[in-house]
A and B are shown apart, each in its own frame.
Chain A
Amino acid sequence: MEDYKYLFKVVLIGNAGVGKTCLVRRFTQGLFPPGQGATIGVDFMIKTIEIGGEKVKLQIWDTAGQERFRSITQSYYHSADALVLVFDVTSKESFNALPSWLREVEQYASPKVISVLVGNKIDLGKDREVNEEDGQSFADSHSMRFLETSAKESDNVDRLFLDIAVELTNNVRNGEIRHDDHEDIIKDTTSVSTCCKG
């Protein structure tokens, strides 16, 4: 078993084709997958990072945006520590869908969840249909953080996930929320260390 201090669940949601899978792959594998097919159901990846000298493990759930997978996706909201709501800055439609995504979040997610709004594909400057101010003001009015990214050019992608990890870690450290998995992790690691000594 790996050793890590904290484990957080991050769930990406948003319309089909906005680039959720590309963001996750860029962050976890450092690549921009060519010919990325639509996600079926839910995929998941793990990435361990270091925050202030401590290992933080991010469990990233990449959900399918297509309508018929909605009930599968929704089942992951409740246990999420952070929700990343993604739209495509070159698609007004994906931006217009945000309120209905937020309704789902409200209905299923834990009130403690951190949510971040992400406008992706800023490398396609000339096709832009949603400008930064609109994204920002939507985020402001729903008290979310906002970030514009490009999975293709690797713009702001690491920052997106690192910021989330830092915020969640700080929340646990400050005892604002009592993190559920924390104790189990401590237990796990001690059991491992004793079994290694033996």
Chain B
Amino acid sequence: MAAATSSERFGGAVENLTEISEIQSALVKLSKEEQSVTDEIDLLLDHHGHLEAKMNSLHRMGPNLQHVSTDAKKLSGMIGSTSELAENVSSKVRQLDLAKSLVQSAIQRVNDILDLKFCTDGVQTALQSEDYEKAAGHIHRYLTLDEKVLKQALEDAGNREGSSIDASLKVLHEAEHNLKALVRKKLDQAISSSDRPSVERFFKIFPLLNLHEEGLTKFSTYLQAQIVSNAREHLEIASSVDSSDRRAGVLYADALTNLFEDVGKIIEVHQPLVETYYGPGKLLTLIESLQKECDRQAQKIIDKFVEQRDFSRKSQQVQLSLTRTTYKSSNVHDKLDPRDLDVLLAECTLLNTRTELYLRFIRRRVTSDIEVCDEDGPAKEERLSSLDRMLRDCALSRRMQEIIGNYIVMEEYFMRETVMKAVSMDIIEPGSHTSSMVDDIFFILKKCTRRAVSSGSVDCACAMLNHTSTLLESDYRDVLYGKLRAGFPSGSFDVSQAYSMLQQGRLPTSASDTNAAKLEFLTTLNNVEVSIEYTQTLKKSLVEECASLVSQNGGMSKDKLDMCLNELTTHTHKFKDVLEYGLSQLNTSAIKPRIKPMVDVFLSTSHNISEEEFSNYEANDPFVQELIMNLEQLLNEFKELLTSSNYDALVSLLTSEVTVQLEKAVLKSVFNRLGGLQFDKELRSLVGYLTTVTQWTIRDKFARLTQMATILNLDRVTEILDYWGSNSGPLTWRLTPAEVRQVLSLRLDFRSEDIKRLKL
């Protein structure tokens, strides 16, 4: 083909060749061309095999590629359609959503419009038929409608529909306005004519018109008026009560109680109404305004109380005499008789008891109302603390705090004066260990502290407990100590003469009155001892009294009361010191001087004796029987006059004195074996006797003497070693080795070398 083409190409040229040379050169050229083409073909033919193989393998791949390509195409198609589908679906959902909400708001709007129309019609007919509840119901429904949306609907709807809605709104606005004015007027009227059913009727309508606060305010005005009129009655009744009436002494406490009961009843009756129609959590608002009226009325009662009971003058007089006594110039004439205070004090505490009771009631009520609405956190805290503030700062609380403040001063005065009177009128009755003042004083203390506790005020109770502690620990203790300071007169003692002297009301003044002075001293010892016991008893009974106070007030009040109660008995050791002091006085002047001569008889009784003398002693006791008799006589002077505990203390002192003196006497005497035996017998009799006269154990006091007797009864000096050191067994030696040697040397028959040789 190439040739053909070239021939074609050259054809014209070749045909046009005229010169041989030209033809020849063309031939050469063509030949050359032919040669190169041939070469080319050869080359291509050489490649042919290789290409063939390649082609074969490509041919084999062909079908595979076909698969892949179709698969890929399929996949792409699928993805494409899926995405399209998804796109379709989601947009449809969106559309649906939109459609749905549009439908809903349309329905809502339709409903609203329907309601609006319904309300509009309803409110008018309801108003016409004076069915205010129904009218308010409609207004309430209307107030829950979203007016903005309705206005929007109004614009959308164009003129026809729009103007009708507009008209409805106008009607409702007007109706709302009218109804509000109407129920306000009606409620005010009902309140001023105390038309209870109408008050309640219109009160219930206010929350429907979103006028909660106003409703509550008006309602509380109504309730306040009730409080006022009741209170006026109570006060009138109070002022007409005859002074002989059983309740005359607590008239004002009664009046206050009635007031509180009224307020309580009002709250009790109306709380359900408020809760039902106004919801929970509204009680505080109501009570805050009721409390204002309660405050005013309570003040009136308290004012009357202060005026009629001459409260201010009495409390000033007490204040005055308190400062006066500190300047030591109390004038008997313008001093208030404590008996004049007794009734007044009782009424004071009753006033406060009632107040505390009432305030607790209010707290309980409001707190549970606050708990019911399930607010939490700061809002609730705020409500609770404003309740706290109201209870703490209300005029009633403040006024009662003032009354109680004055009460405490007067009660302390009453207590102190009455106690001092009991001291000054103290009498000793035959047969009684204590004098009249102990029972009297503790009766007074109990009465006053119980009265203070009954006030229901923890601080008041604590204050009187403090005053009681002070009175006991300083004033009363001083009285007792003062009586013992003079000491126990020495000399003989005729009890019956003492009684007759004291009963004539004469205080022991001269030396001849020592009998009376002695009796008084012993009675005072008993007074001290019994007072310690009574203080414990007083505290115990007050702990019980205070238990209710703690349960009402809780927390800190318990700690405070505990502190003040404990204070009552922390000073008993001061009384014990006084008792010890008195007993030692008694010991010094009545026991010690009389014991020595009794025991000294021992010195004139020989303990270096023969068998004959020993058996003679058996028949005619030379010492111990007489000693016992004398001791008994001495103790008998006191036995009946002392409390058993004081008597035991006296026996103990006497025993100590006897042992001291007897030890001295023994160490001044000499013994033989039989004399030692005699001494042992004497000692046993003495211990035996003293053991029978006291509850306390006295054996221990005789330990040293008993050990001396043991030594004086030894057969040989060395026998002591059977009892000494590692052989002492349960015996604890109270004698030093030197004393042992000294006692051994009292035995005339023991050789001093033997004693010296002892290894102790």
Contacts and interface: CB of A to CB of B under 8 A. Distances in A.
A126 interface: no
Interface extent on B, as a size class? 20 to 34
B462 A72 contact: yes
Nearest to A185: B570
A43 B553 CA distance: 14
A42 B326 CA distance: 26
Nearest to B463: A75
Contacts of B409: 71
Contacts of A32: none
A105 to B, nearest CB: 13
B573 A71 contact: no
Contacts of B469: 78-79
Interface in B313-330: 323, 326
Interface stretch (B2-10, B559-567, B730-738): B559-567
Given A68-B398, A69-B405, A71-B406, A42 B567 contact: no
Interface in B689-707: none
B156 interface: no
B571 A180 contact: yes
Contact of B570 (A42, A70, A181): A181
A44 B405 contact: no
Interface residues of A, number: 21
B294 interface: no
B563 A44 contact: yes
B467 interface: yes
A40 B553 CA distance: 14
A107 interface: yes
Nearest to A73: B463
A43 B458 CA distance: 11
A44 B326 CA distance: 29
Interface string A22-65: 00000000000000010011111000000000000001000000
B270 interface: no
A184 B567 CA distance: 11
A178 to B, nearest CB: 10
Interface string B210-237: 0000000000000000000000000000
A76 interface: yes
Interface string B395-433: 000100110111011001000000000000000000000
A167 interface: no
A153 interface: no
Interface in B449-472: 457-460, 462-464, 466-467, 469-470
Given A42-B459, A43-B556, A69-B405, A75 B398 contact: no
A191 to B, nearest CB: 15
B470 A71 contact: no
Given A76-B466, A79-B469, A180-B571, A59 B458 contact: no
Given A72-B460, A72-B463, A79-B567, 11 more contacts: A40-B401, A41-B458, A42-B462, A42-B560, A59-B563, A72-B404, A78-B470, A79-B470, A107-B326, A180-B571, A183-B573
Interface of A: 37, 40-44, 59, 68-72, 75-76, 78-79, 107, 180-181, 183-184
18 contacts: A37-B389, A40-B459, A42-B459, A42-B462, A43-B556, A68-B401, A69-B405, A69-B459, A71-B405, A71-B406, A72-B404, A72-B405, A72-B460, A75-B463, A75-B467, A75-B470, A78-B469, A79-B470
Please list the 6 inter-chain residue pairs (A to B) with the smallest Cβ-Cβ separation, ordered nearest first.
A41-B459, A75-B466, A75-B463, A71-B408, A78-B470, A68-B402
